Structure 1
Amino acid sequence: MQSRTPRIPHQPAPTRPETDARLTVELAPVVTGARRRALRDGDRQIDTAHLLHSLLEADSAVREAFDGGPQLARVLGYLVQRSIGYGLRWQGAVEDSGAVPVVTDVAAPGWSPQAALAMDAALERAAARGEARASGLDLLAALAADRECRAVEVLVRAGVSPDELARRIGRPDAETAGGAAR
């Protein structure tokens, strides 16, 4: 049986070494998964939807931030449709909300401007909490805050309010070492 997954020529995985070093043990596999997903999908960059998909697969604290199974299932449904080529069609397109100049891509090769900003915002959120490393909830909060990114488009289409999600996650100064305040 022939594989339905297209072959992609080997390309080096996009990295942001300065960011990668500041990720928690739980968040590092999320970034690796997003890199793998972008390469497999034939996308030139990791975008916020790749990050959201990997977050949901890898981080139980992120899954718990959603309001029950049906909401989470709808979000995953949109992300899976995208990864197999149906539904939201972004494959091969650069994520750019217009909020930042696309030239930002030069500073973060292999990352969409919004994905790079989300990673930076996650690190800032962790720093506001007094932590040196960003967690999955930090990244989820950063994704939910950018109303123009692909991850938020997925959330909204799945019936998830980014504002309500952010409220459930909590402010960085309201978190404890065990996760978000509820």
Structure 2
Amino acid sequence: MPPRIPRQPAERGPNRVELDARLSAELLSAMAGARRRAARDGDRQIDTAHLLHSLLESDPQVRQVFDGPVLARLLGYLVQRSIGYGLLWQSSVEDSGSVPVVREAGWSPAAAFAMDCARKRSEKRGDPQARGLDLLVALAADTECRAVEVLGRAGVRAEGLESRVEAAEGGGVAGELPP
């Protein structure tokens, strides 16, 4: 008798182990933190603001991109998410228009796209692992995502982040963030 459930074809593309090998320990930690944060807040999906919050908490290189007062404003704003403005986001799917909307639990389309862009950025740099700074640049590049909204509310212009990240990657001092 044939099985009731037909066999599914093998998944195309990299599997979970291969994906994890392409991410730094800091980025894996940030992803896990974003997943926990979304579950704790009762959000349907992990969005770019969850990723930004976890990056700021878990990756020292990402924190170095921001000076003390800006970092404090960002973290303060993100902490308020579950009790204030973030409640407006709970019933919606983050869609910045960069990818088709998928209405299921997991990663928002914008967050999944940012992760993919982070991996591509690391490959261009010749690094086999995407890092937190790669994800920060990817988040800032999507001007319609929630992470950019958070950055803007904290007084950070997303347009200037890539050059600050490049300065941080080169070992230079990033200096003050432009308003």
TM-score bucket (shorter structure): 0.7 to 0.9
Percent of paired sites with the same residue: 63
Q: CA deviation at 1:181?
A: 7.8
1:163 deviation in Å? Answer: 1.3
Relative to structure 1, the CA distance from residue 92 to residue 41 in structure 2 (aligned partners, 3 Å threshold; closer, same or farther) is farther
Q: Structure 2: where are the runs of 5+ without partners?
A: 1-14, 175-179
Note the alpha carbon deviations across 1:38-82, whole angstroms, 9 max, x for none: 11111111100000000000011100001x111111111111000
Partners of 1:37 and 1:49 in 2: CA distance? 10
Match of 2:33 in 1: 33
**How far does the alpha carbon of each residue in 1:71-121 deviate from its partner, in whole angstroms, 9 at most, with x for none?**
1111111110003x2134312321112232114x67xx6100000000000
Q: 2:157 aligns with which of 145, 157, 161?
A: 161
Q: Is contact 2:96–2:142 with CA below 8 Å preserved after alignment? A: no
C-alpha distance 117-181 of structure 1, shift in aligned 2 (>3 A): farther
Q: What's the counterpart of residue 87 of structure 1?
A: 85
Q: What amino acid is the match of 2:164?
A: R
TM-score, with length taken from structure 2: 0.80
Corresponding residue for 1:74?
73
* Distance (Å, rounded) in 2 between the aligned partners of 1:133 and 1:158: 29
How many angstroms apart in 1 are the aligned matches of 2:172 and 2:107? 27
Instruction: Judging by fraction of residues, say which structure has more helix.
Output: 2
1:44 aligns with 2:44: yes
Structure 1 or 2, whichever has the larger Rg, is 2
Q: Distance in 1 between matches of 2:172 and 2:119?
A: 16
Contact 1:48 1:143 in 2 (8 A): yes
CA apart distance, 1:139: 0.5
- 1:19 and 2:19 equivalent? yes
The number of residues matched between the two structures is: 158
Moved more, 154-163 or 90-99: 90-99
Matches within 5 A, 1:50-129: 50-66=50-66, 68-83=67-82, 85-88=83-86, 89-103=88-102, 110-129=106-125
Structure 1, unmatched stretches of 5+, are 1-15
Give 4+ residue runs of structure 1 displaced > 6 Å after superposition.
Answer: none
Quick check: 1:123–1:133 contact (8 Å CA) kept in 2?
Answer: yes
Q: Is the 8 A contact 1:19 1:119 kept in 2?
A: no
Q: Which residue identity lines up with residue 41 of structure 2 in the other structure?
A: D
**TM-fit CA distance, 1:167:** 1.3
Cα distance between partner residues in 1 of 2:109 and 2:141: 14
Could you tell me whether the CA contact under 8 Å between 1:100 and 1:113 is conserved in 2? yes
Q: For the aligned residues, what is the CA RMSD?
A: 2.2
